[in-house]
Chains A and B, each alone.
Chain A
């Protein structure tokens, strides 16, 4: 049996000063890993399993808990409001992610040549990303509201009032997405900017000598070389946009009606306004499954368009 064949003797670690595996390294590794592992266990894995357990219960914050099996899942799937909430989340993702990528890539390309004040532009574009979202939302609320800056500009230029962006269900989601793009493009812009800086200038020069124009160089050199950065940006932006909460919460509180209510906002309301932790956990698990699925699909699809250097 192959299993009983003794392993070839491994060279003694002491024979390799400065390298190799030492006896007792496992324990040291465990020691170093302990803080992050305990953090992961305490704040991620255990709550995750806990929330799965809670999703099988009718679990009011105050009062008696009752095992209901898959009832929460079935109820949510047949709830028209939850359908609307999932649709809202999907609309947000489908509109926000491409907009974010286009805007951040466009600006990264614009400041990528060694233009004067490049660092300043980077800083300016990055500021919204690090400004507290609540403060941003307050400013945008002042811009959007009837009688606000946008409304006044409409009155002055067109002579008609602007739509009631935050009070009209046809406009509210667009208003939330626009504010989110403004808030979020800076991070991806920095990622793209760093990616662009890493593309060797010689590639562009070689392509130029071969007669490639700027557009051709962009499609055939810049984009393929930037594809790992774009893949990273797409994955992260997709995950965070499925989890969007603060923008609709601070700007419209999910309204009017449920026009801007997203899955995480709905989860928060079910759990902490209506005190129904069972349903809230179930929503969390729906979201978790959707994000896992979408991320897995992206990893499967990356072979088609992401070019790594090796």
Chain B
């Protein structure tokens, strides 16, 4: 073999090795588990976030973990809320999910196979379920097993544009307002291209009304999806009538924007909208008017709203679940949640820290939020809730705009998702 050939072969081997390395790097990347170097464990933490401020807050929490456990570092990886679930599924199918995963209560059943049951480990990590609001603690259980430790929760609320109410001489909502009060306010506030209310045909946005007007949700007594039950159909019809009959809300469009109704409210085009307390800080930052908060107006069945929230769980592929739980204990610990509350980022799942959320900026929301929490009911969740949500949103546009009858719409979704 000549020197030239040897050099050629060496080059070929080097090229092949480089290619193999590059491919391997593509394949493993973020990695599900943890890597240990110099006795320090680094764990991937997958979580959604919607703004730079939110990312900063999570990174701050990640530093709190390292401050408390110097041998532990979190590698925070994030994407938008909708993309998070797509990415999680894709990573999980390749056995490549992060160690610590953000878990939303609605979606917990659909990813339960991915998560480690925590019940036997909680005490060891110093986490006591009694310190948390019972509704959200329970909402993160699937088949009686605790799959995540909550950090925030909240019922859906009514946000209102207090300036528009005053200008129109309409009394602002109180904690004891009724659906009749809501309708007359919406009618008074609809004029000149502006509307009293903004709807969006998501199942989450309809449920508070079906609970308050009809005392029913989208699930039957056995916990199965039953969108065609009488009370729910009537509630959805009432909701659609706000657009088609009463015309107090604008027509909706098919869009992939997650919060078009909220955006319309922030822009000042609609005087009221239903959304969660987790949006309040963003809304107050962006709105050019005074934002008020009230519970859902009470109907024949009272004033109710579903309580949902989020927490952190440990993936089945995590090599060191105990260390991951140590980190979660800090992320959801009193100091961590105190920090998130002071930032206005999350209404704390720990009862002792809740007062910190009502900083001067959010003090006005206190009565409305506490009233809503008091009457909150656990959010419905089925294994395919994400699919139900998507189909509801997709076909709901035609129903809300009056192009398809409400019973036909609900039948369609029930048949496809039931």
**Interfacial residues, chain A to chain B (CB-CB below 8 A):** 27, 31, 34-35, 38, 42, 61-63, 81, 141, 144-147, 164-169, 172, 249-260, 269, 272-275, 277
CA distance A168 to B23 in the complex (A): 46
The answer to whether A257 and B253 have CB atoms under 8 Å apart is no
Which of B93, B251, B256 has the largest number of chain A CB atoms within 10 A? Answer: B256
Q: How far is the CA of A167 from the CA of B395 in the complex (A)?
A: 10
| 29 A-B contact pairs sorted by A residue (CB < 8 Å) | A27-B8, A42-B23, A61-B89, A61-B92, A62-B92, A62-B111, A62-B114, A81-B416, A145-B253, A146-B253, A164-B251, A164-B401, A166-B254, A167-B251, A167-B254, A169-B403, A253-B254, A253-B256, A254-B254, A255-B393, A255-B395, A256-B401, A257-B394, A257-B397, A259-B254, A269-B390, A272-B90, A274-B384, A277-B93
User: Smallest Cβ distance from A128 to chain B, in angstroms?
Assistant: 20
Please tell me if the beta carbons of A257 and B395 are within 8 angstroms of each other in the complex.
Answer: yes
CA distance in complex: A84, B312 (Å): 40
**B226 CB within 8 Å of chain A:** no
Bound together, the chains give a CA A115 to CA B34 distance in angstroms of 64
Q: Which residues of B contact A254 (CB under 8 A)?
A: 254, 394
Which of A62, A255, A256 makes the CB contact (< 8 A) with B113? A62
B12 part of interface (Cβ distance < 8 Å) = yes
Residue on A nearest B403 in the bound complex, by CB: A169
Closest B residue to A152 using CB positions: B193
Binding site for A on B (CB under 8 A): 8, 12, 15, 19, 23, 86, 89-90, 92-93, 111, 113-114, 193, 250-257, 269, 384, 386-387, 390, 393-395, 397-398, 401, 403-404, 416
Do residues A273 and B86 form an inter-chain contact, with CB atoms below 8 A?
yes
- Nearest residue in A to B8 (C-beta to C-beta)? A27
CA–CA, A274 and B387, complex, Å: 6
Q: Chain B nearest CB: distance from A58 CB in Å?
A: 14
For residue A275, which residue of chain B has the nearest CB? B89
Contact with B253, one of A167, A250, A273 (Cβ below 8 angstroms):
A167
Task: Please give the distance in Å from A82's CB to the nearest CB on chain B.
Answer: 12
In the complex the two chains form, is B394's CB within 8 Å of A147's CB? no
CB-defined contacts of B93 to chain A, threshold 8 Å: 61-62, 277
Task: Known A62-B113, A255-B394, A273-B387; judge A164-B253 contact (CB<8 A).
Answer: yes
15 additional contacts, CB 8 Å, given A167-B254, A255-B255, A275-B89?
A81-B416, A144-B253, A146-B251, A147-B193, A147-B269, A167-B253, A169-B398, A252-B255, A253-B255, A253-B256, A255-B395, A255-B397, A256-B254, A257-B398, A274-B387
Min CB–CB distance A152 → chain B (angstroms)? 9
Residue of chain A at shortest CB distance from B87:
A272
Residues of B within 8 A of A274 (CB): 384, 387
B89 in complex: contacting residue of A62, A144, A255, CB < 8 Å: A62
CB-nearest residue of chain B relative to A259? B254
Q: In whole angstroms, how far apart are the Cα atoms of A255 and B397 in the complex?
A: 8
Contact between chains at A253 and B111 (CB < 8 Å): no
**CB-defined contacts of A252 to chain B, threshold 8 Å:** 253-256
| A250→B256 contact, CB < 8 A | yes
Question: In the complex the two chains form, what is the Cα distance from A128 to B250 in whole Å?
Answer: 31
- Judging by beta carbons under 8 Å apart, are A167 and B193 in contact? no
Chain B residues contacting A31 (CB-CB under 8 Å) are: 12, 15
- Closest-CB distance, A133 to chain B (whole angstroms): 13
With contact pairs A147-B193, A257-B395 given, residues A273 and B386 touching in the complex (Cβ less than 8 Å):
yes
Write the nearest CB–CB distance from A55 to chain B, whole angstroms. 16
* A168 contacts B92, C-beta separation under 8 Å: no
Query: Once bound together, how far apart are the Cα atoms of A273 and B384, in whole Å?
Result: 10
Contact of A167 (CB < 8 Å), options: B19, B269, B384, B397: B397
* A30 (CB) vs chain B CBs: closest residue: B12
Question: How far in angstroms is the closest Cβ of chain A from B375?
Answer: 32
- Contact call B19/A256, Cβ cutoff below 8 A: no
In the complex where A62-B89, A62-B92, A169-B403 touch, is A141 in contact with B394 (Cβ < 8 A)? no
- What residue in chain A is nearest B389 (Cβ atoms)? A273
* B90, B386, B397: the one within 8 Å of A256 (CB): B397
Compute how far the CA of A63 lies from the CA of B113 in the bound complex, rounded to whole angstroms: 8
Residues of A within 8 A of B416 (CB): 81
Given A253-B255, A256-B394, A272-B86: A147 in contact with B250 (beta carbons within 8 A)? yes
Enumerate the 10 nearest inter-chain pairs by beta-carbon distance, A residue then B residue, closest first: A255-B254, A166-B253, A256-B397, A253-B256, A252-B254, A167-B253, A61-B93, A256-B254, A61-B89, A272-B86
For the complex formed, measure the closest distance between the CB of A42 and the CB atoms of chain B, giving whole angstroms. 7
Closest to A24 in B: B8
Which residues of A sit under 8 angstroms from B397, Cβ to Cβ?
167, 255-257
A272-B88 Cα distance, complex, nearest whole Å: 10
Max chain A C-beta neighbours (<10 A), residue from B92, B251, B390: B251
A27 to B9, CA, bound (A): 11
Cα-based distance from A292 to B304 in the complex (angstroms): 55
Q: How far is the CB of A177 from chain B (nearest CB, A)?
A: 15
